[in-house]
Structure 1
Amino acid sequence: MIFIMERSHVIRPAFLLAATALVFPAAAVAQQAQFSTERLKQHVQTLGSDAYEGRGVATRAETKTVDYLISQFKAAGVQPGGDIVNGKRQWTQKVPLLKSDIVGTQHLEFRTPTGAVALNQGQQIAVRAPLNGQREVALNAVPMVFAGYGVTAPERQWDDFKDVDVRGKVIVVLVNDPDFEGGEGNFGGKAMTYYGRWTYKYEEAARRGAAGVLVVHETEPASYGWNTVKNSNTNTMFDIVRQNPRASHAPLEGWIQRDVAANLLRDAGIDFEAAKQAAKRRDFRPMDMKSTFTAHYGAKTEVINSQNVVGLLPGKTRPDETVIYSGHWDHLGIGLPQADGDRIYNGALDNATGISHILEQARAFARGPRPDRSIVFLAVTAEEKGLLGSEYYARNPLYPAAKTVGVLNTDSMGVFGRERDFSISGTAKLDLLDLLIAEGRRQGRTFTADPHPESGGFYRSDHFTMAKVGIPAISFKPGLNLVNGGIARGEAISKEYTEKRYHQPDDEYQPSWDFSGMAEDAALLHAVGLRLANGNDWPNWSQDSEFRAARDQSAAERMGSGPAPAAQPLPAEQPQSGERG
């Protein structure tokens, strides 16, 4: 999930893509879908309740959640859009995942020049259940190296490792990328690149044959507190099933607290802040920490099948072309208790709200005039475990990426009343954003660019996996300039949620929540999807986007495939509910 970030000001965009003039039918704009705040609330209240046990992947709560989503898609009036089995579409797409749990007690210890330092899981350190296929982590006095930001970026003439061989060692790296604190440099300034994400740092450690990697947690560059790290990394881990998992995962992956890292470096005669300053420079070289790490714990690993849930509304004239509404149904399940003993990580905001939105989009489209292109409603699994359900879909699309018009993702919607503005995660430039801004103006609302691109929001939700295969994709974010209370109230709510509820058991439904803003956001996203579904154009990324080449290649695939076959759309199933509108 990408959680709500503070906003200090409204930025009116000056980067509309003049190079591309998309034309959408005016008739599509006239339809204004109405969304029921009561139905939106009921979905959130249900999925975010204790009865759904935090919607953990591969638990009994998954079965219950999937059953609920299918029943609601049926009631909405759409049809199955998942795997084809014996010639018939199913409601789900099977997603094979590697599941891993730490079993037994963990022995975790640093040995520094001043002696042994015992570590407690979830306190000073958060190690993950291994995802490289092994059933045991056994590191015995492995040397440790401080590797700066852990980045190798040849196109930026940057290499934190130089000629230092880290095979068989544990590397300690900083979160985010070298430009974070100074706001300028070789990585594009304040906005985080993918090199700043912890996922990249794990991948690079594996590529270099490291025995382990520990990311140093600091709240500001991570953009979340230690509780989020602890709760997200000390429970069941998942990954897509890989042919060679050891190429993607070192034996040990985890995080350590900032002060733990500072003490380790101090014992080696190195000042932590001085080491950070050195890591910002291109001439940085890895530093011997003069310490070792010992880690022993067992793991239970198995391959399980999770499920993406997929609804489909076939298009009237071009059913082979699709618009996707996506969001993740999972959360963290049952985990470590907080002070009051609560162990259920309900995920009411993250992401019962996004799923509620998708269900009601299905209802609105099914009850309106049938659009020309097909609409896919995609509720993906295992987002909280690394965007896995959407990554599996992107690698194994049910509907070809080349003929997917765009993806509108929702990951945490606004439940604090109507907003004067709206945003997206990250600072990507693409035609979909231009269209969103234009439709927002029809509501009398303004676009607020993400004022905290250093948080890496673009890489933290399910639209990112779609973008990697070229599909234009945005993750919508509600505004913080609230009609009731303005920016000051919006920022206060954002801060309170991030500190006390994000990835914590207190992300629970609140009777005080006001769904009027979410309903207005749903109407905005409906208008965008409707224009895409009734249009003829193929949105693209900006010319300088790293995703442009993949999209351009898909355009060549579309043109090379010849005219679409004259397929007849299947009739939608009749709604099981008499509700309308």
Structure 2
Amino acid sequence: MRKSVLLVCCVVLAAGILVAEKAHAPKIDPQRMHDTVKYLSSDELEGRGTGQKGGDAAANWIAEQFKSYGLKPAGANGGYFQDVPMVGVRALPATTFTFVPANGAPVELKNLDDYVTSNETQTESADIDAPIVFVGYGITSPENKWDDYKGYDLHGKVALLFVSEPESNDPNFFKGKALTYNGRWTYKFEETARRGAVGTLIIHRTDLASYPWEVVRNSWGGERSYLKLEGSPKLKAASWIQLEVARKLVAMGGLNLDELYKQSQSRDFKPIELPVHLKAHVVSAIRPFASRNVLAMVEGSEADHRRTETVLYTAHYDHFGTDPARAKGDQIYHGAVDNGTGCGILLELARVWAGTKPVPPRSILFAAVTGEEQGLLGSEYLGKHLEQLPVQPILDLNYDALAPIGIPEEVEVSGAERTTFYPEVEKTAKEFSLAIKPDAHPEAGHYYRSDHFSLGRVGIPAFSISEGLKFKGHDLAWGEAQSKDYVEHHYHKPADAFVDSWDFTGDAKMAEFGYALGQAAATQTGEIKWLPGDEFESAQKKLAAGQR
């Protein structure tokens, strides 16, 4: 959810915010951000779990803030909410996973320590007794001349595969070191389900996934939320397994995992059926519910078509709720950085835009979305149901997890360079004395891991705005150390908790930068497009032609 900017003539108001010439706006207030993040990450909101009391309370509170700013409701029935029909699925202790070799003793796995699983078919019980097939990375990518399946029929079988994608330093082959969507776990489950698999086992490797097993365990160990089924095929067991478990599994078939990994780097790779079955009994608690996106807007000034177009700002408000099973320490996943900070920025932008005079030709839409931690669900629903919006997005600027650790001297806008809006982004960054830096860890596939992706994949130019690793008064190594510490000790853990001494001046700068980009995009007359040849260009053409 990252977007754009226009207007060459900008002035710095006493408030410290860069705005288009003749536009007057309140100043971004770091203290308001501080207070927002403090409240959203407090014990009172119980980790803002999707479909849970704390998450619902957060949505209500955000709607109240939008109303207090004087923003127009942009949800259903004249309100601030868009209902997102979901189903919660939680694997129960009665669930069993057993590897059964053709020759040898069965091996039963231990939930959470050896594997995690979820029944995407959203039924209370599912049984599997099927052969396990190693399919490399499980990727079919005609543009990269890559097909791991080679016509193999996966119906009724269990796919075993690596997360990520083939190793490459060639920018023309799977974008080199940068991870494409083919490497994401969501793609793996989608593709194997499309091919008829009943289950999928993703082999976890910290270096390939970019996060340790504890993150997988925390993310998948409790209830998983899904959009209510709309007919696409789903897996009875969408699963991750530990690396060492995978080693033992393939050894049961007389194979070596390291050798299989080497084979999977070749275009000549073909699926290998192991002489091992997965026998699984997946017992789940099923909970239908409706979560909510929170939508508000500033209506544009133009009477022509530009008023029906909008610059969209997004940030997810959900986190992981609570984990009563944690015997020691904090049971609340506070989500202060992820994504209390994005909400703090979104609300300040909403307040400032509500007070901006004159209003720009295009409208400005704000979406606090739900279910990001469950797989970008709220933004996916938003993108699939654009007809429910009163205005149509022409650009999405997303904010997700901006640690308030200092004044950034760099900005990351990965994905902006793939749009016609990028020259404006470059110009605005220069005006803010921000060096645009490429994604510090492109192999992690960050573009496909936040809500802007849901808008991008339906054709809307979209990117996130975040700080780089260089901060005022510190060298690059300091920023890298801060990032590493967050990922290792706070990311998707209860330790992502609020620190009262945090200084939100840096986050305010990121908000000001996004405001200026929004001014530019809302004022310019031309279209914002994906560049020719981009993976989302065809989706944008279909969107424009009404062929979604």
Task: Report the number of matched residues.
Answer: 531
Residue in structure 2 matching 1:119, options 87, 90, 109: 109
Distance 1:427 1:453, change over 3 A: farther
Mapped to 2, the partners of 1:484 and 1:252 lie a distance apart of 49
Match of 2:145 in 1: 157
Partner of 2:431: 442
2:272 paired residue number: 287
* Distance of 2:180 and 2:56 partners within structure 1: 37
Aligned equivalents of 2:100, 2:413: Cα separation in 1:
45
1:479 and 2:468 matched: yes
Deviation digits for residues 250-305 of structure 1 (CA, Å, limit 9, x no counterpart): 11111011111112122322121111010011111122322222222322324321
1:224 aligned residue: 211
Which residue identity does 1:243 align to in structure 2? Answer: E
Q: Residues 258 and 95 from structure 1, CA distance in 2 versus in 1: closer, same or farther, beyond 3 angstroms?
A: same
Paired residues of 1:312 and 1:374 also in contact (CA < 8 A): yes
Note closer, same or farther for the CA distance 1:339–1:423 as it changes in structure 2 (3 Å cut): farther
Question: Which segment drifts farther, 428-437 or 58-67?
Answer: 428-437
CA distance in 2, matches of 1:230, 1:103: 15
Match of 1:193 among 169, 176, 180: 180
Q: Identity across aligned pairs (percent)?
A: 34
Which one of the candidate residues 501, 515, 528 is aligned to 1:512? 501
345-354 vs 417-426, which moves further: 417-426
Match for residue 20 of structure 2? 29
Quote the residue 2:51 is aligned against: 58
**What is the deviation of 1:553?**
4.7
8 Å Cα contact 1:179-1:185 kept in structure 2: no
Q: Displacement of 1:24 after TM fit?
A: 3.5
Structure-2 residue corresponding to 1:143 = 131
Contact 2:458 2:543 in 1 (8 A): no
The alignment partner of 1:545 has SS state of coil
1:493 to 466, 482, 490: 482
1:299 corresponds to which residue? Answer: 284
In the alignment, the residues of structure 2 paired with residue 480 and residue 396 of structure 1 have an alpha-carbon distance, to the nearest angstrom, of 36
Q: Secondary structure at the match of 1:327?
A: strand
Q: CA RMSD in A?
A: 2.4
Work out whether residues 314 and 366 of structure 2, in 8 Å CA contact, stay in contact via their aligned partners in 1: yes
Would the aligned equivalents of 2:6 and 2:517 in 1 still touch at CA under 8 Å? no
Consecutive unaligned residues of structure 2, counting only runs of 5 or more, are: 11-18
- Whole-angstrom distance in 2 between the partners of 1:485 and 1:220: 27
The CA deviation at 1:556 is 5.8
d(CA) in 1 for partners of 2:467 and 2:504?
12
What's 2:445 paired with? 456
**Are 2:304 and 1:311 aligned?**
no
Which residue in the other structure is 1:577 paired with? none
Select which of 356, 370, 373 maps to 1:368: 356
- In the other structure, the counterpart of 1:567 is none
Q: What's the CA shift for 1:126?
A: 1.1
1:417 and 1:553 mapped to 2: Cα distance?
42
Residue 226 (structure 2) pairs with residue 243 (structure 1): no
Shift of 1:378: 0.4
Q: 2:262 matched to 1:272?
A: no
Change (3 A) 1:107 1:551: closer
Q: What are the equivalent positions in structure 2 for 1:321-470 lying under 5 Å apart?
A: 321-335=309-323, 340-369=328-357, 370-397=359-386, 403-425=392-414, 429-470=418-459
Q: What residue is the counterpart of 2:70 in the other structure?
A: 77
Partner of 1:40: 33
Q: How many Å apart are 1:114 and its aligned residue?
A: 4.4
CA distance in 1, matches of 2:449, 2:141: 21
Change (3 A) 1:428 1:151: farther
**Alpha-carbon distance in 2 for matches of 1:428, 1:268:** 46
**Could you tell me whether the CA contact under 8 Å between 1:468 and 1:547 is conserved in 2?**
yes
Post-superposition offset of 1:197: 0.9
Q: 1:233 to 1:428 in 2, by over 3 A?
A: farther
Q: Structure 1 520/339 Cα, relative in aligned 2: closer, same or farther at 3 Å?
A: farther
Q: Deviations over 1:18-43 (max 9, x none)?
A: xxxx9736365345763111110000
Of 104-113 and 385-394, the range deviating more from structure 2:
104-113
CA distance in 1, matches of 2:448, 2:390: 19
The 1-side partners of 2:342 and 2:186 are apart by: 24
Change (3 A) 1:185 1:284: farther
Secondary structure at the aligned position of 2:282 is classed as: strand
Quick check: 2:74–2:389 contact (8 Å CA) kept in 1? no
Q: Tell me which amino acid in the other structure corresponds to 1:199.
A: T
Which secondary structure does the structure 1 equivalent of 2:513 belong to? helix
SS in structure 1 at match of 2:278: strand
SS at match of 1:438: helix
Indicate conservation of the 8 Å contact 1:427/1:450, yes or no.
no
CA–CA separation in structure 2 for the residues paired with 1:143 and 1:395: 35
Q: TM-score, normalised by structure 2?
A: 0.91
1: CA distance between counterparts of 2:178 and 2:390?
A: 28
CA separation in 2, counterparts of 1:521 and 1:554?
A: 30
Match of 1:7 in 2: none
Q: Deviations for 1:164-189, whole angstroms, at most 9, x for unmatched residues?
A: 33322211100101125x66784232
Matched-pair contact (CA < 8 Å) for 2:6–2:523: no
Among 82, 88, 93, the residue aligned to 1:99: 88
- Deviation at 1:79? 2.2
Aligned residues of 2:75 and 2:389 also touching (Cα < 8 A): no
Report the Cα offset of residue 133 of structure 1.
3.1
Does 1:213 pair with 2:200?
Answer: yes
Query: Secondary structure of 1:344's partner?
Result: coil
| Unaligned 5+ runs, structure 1 | 3-16, 559-581
Contact 2:6 2:519 in 1 (8 A): no
Letter in 1 for 2:112: G
Indicate which of 513, 518, 529 corresponds to 1:524.
513
- Note closer, same or farther for the CA distance 1:334–1:58 as it changes in structure 2 (3 Å cut): same
Contact 2:56 2:291 in 1 (8 A): no
Of 434-443 and 357-366, more deviation after overlay is shown by 434-443
1:539: how far off? 1.1
Contact 2:100–2:106, Cα closer than 8 Å, also in 1: yes
Structure 1 residue 81: Cα displacement: 1.3
Post-superposition offset of 1:436:
2.2
Matched, 1:550 2:539: yes
Q: Is the 8 A contact 2:33 2:344 kept in 1?
A: yes
Deviations 1:348-384 (A, max 9, x none): 1111111111111011111121222211110011111
Per-residue CA deviations over 1:311-363 (Å, capped at 9, x if unaligned) read 11111224312111101111111136557332211111111111111111011
Q: Distance in 2 between matches of 1:194 and 1:401?
A: 30
Give 3-state SS (helix, strand or coil) of 1:120's partner.
Answer: coil
Q: 1:183 to 1:106 in 2, by over 3 A?
A: farther
Does the CA contact (< 8 Å) of 1:24 and 1:536 recur in 2? no
1:388 Cα offset (Å): 1.0
Partner of 1:262: 247
Q: Any conservation in 2 of the 1:41–1:515 contact (CA below 8 Å)?
A: yes
- Kept in 1, the 8 Å contact 2:121–2:235? The answer is yes
In 1: Cα distance, 2:390 partner to 2:133 partner: 42
Secondary structure of 1:115's aligned partner: coil
- The code of the aligned residue for 2:445 comes to G
Alpha-carbon distance in structure 2 between the residues aligned to 1:57 and 1:544: 36
1:440 is aligned with what amino acid?
Answer: A
- CA–CA separation in structure 2 for the residues paired with 1:42 and 1:109: 49
